[in-house]
Structure 1
Amino acid sequence: MHVRCLIDECANIGQIPKLEKLMATIRSREISACLVLQAQSQLKALYKDNCDTIIGNCDSAIFLGGKERTTLKELTESLGKETIDTYNTGESRGREVSHSLNYQKLGKELASVDELAVLDGGKCILQLRGVRPFLSDKYDITQHPNYKYLSDYDSRNAFDIEKYLSTRLKPKPDDVFNAYSVDLSGEPKTAE
């Protein structure tokens, strides 16, 4: 069975010991981790030199928007450049009219830092292993078939911990239960 760890606010829960090694090895054990961050600089502050290793072991990344400069610069670099063909024409007049045509190929960033900083709120940039990064629409959660079960749809769906704790199952004196004993001493029992 595959286990997926969704680690929201990854930078705010503290450092996960040996995360750089875990990210490199858990895949072979049918475990995946989704690290959710506001900015890459948060990961760098927490994991220092191991940050690049952690990011390098992620097969996919999604940029939902933001304005933190380091994240924007790294994303601009990873998006790469596009080639632009430019044509310049000129005309000079003197005794005789002369025309000139100049053709040039230029490299331009696919998306500049400034363009990424003002990315439309309904768009995101996906980077998947083996595929060039691409711009996509964000998924409209209201279209999901299970949206009706969220508290966004109906406030009665909100989980109320106080209500849950106050209405927990309370055993009565005549209830019958099975009792089990568990040895947690750590010593394996030997067969006799």
Structure 2
Amino acid sequence: MGVEINWGFPESLSIWEFLNSPIATNTIFPVMGFVLLLVFNRNAQANRDQQQIILTQQQFSEPESAETAAATELVVNRQLPQAPVTEDDQRRLFNRGSASIARLKQYVDSLAENAPDGRRHRKYSNVPRHDYRPIVQMIVDDKSSKELTKEKAEKSIDAFSLWRPYQTGKRHLSDAIVQEIESFVDAVVPAT
């Protein structure tokens, strides 16, 4: 006992005739093509974003070149001879530097959160937060913030790079290094 369903097509119409009919060629196929185009375009954009994230992270994770190491050493050695620093003084210096970097991280996170579109917002949220230099570079490369100019981005990257060897608290900071970090942060983060 079979139940026959009437789909509204004449029984004499074969699938081949339907596929060649004006309804299929003028309506259904263009809609299917448009949907496929959207899907492939979105996947391609996601792949490009992922590649940019990887390249930017590699740029900052590569071992320092001799030129970069020499520049960092120049900044570190620029400190003036000072009296021996006590543990309390060291803790205060570390807390000052840490507070400045925390302000800068909060600023960069707010720029990433206020990305002009959802795609960039997802892209920035996919970047690990153990190193903020790639995020700063991506925000500048994407031109997604008018606040973060190239000069401010360079100062942000310099501040993060300068803080990097001291972030664990195991290396001793000098007042000159902390002041340099604070000057970079003050030049980038707007006063509240």
TM-score (structure 2 length as normaliser): 0.19
Greater relative contact order structure (CA < 8 Å, 6+ sep): 2
| Bigger strand share | 1
| Bigger helix share | 2
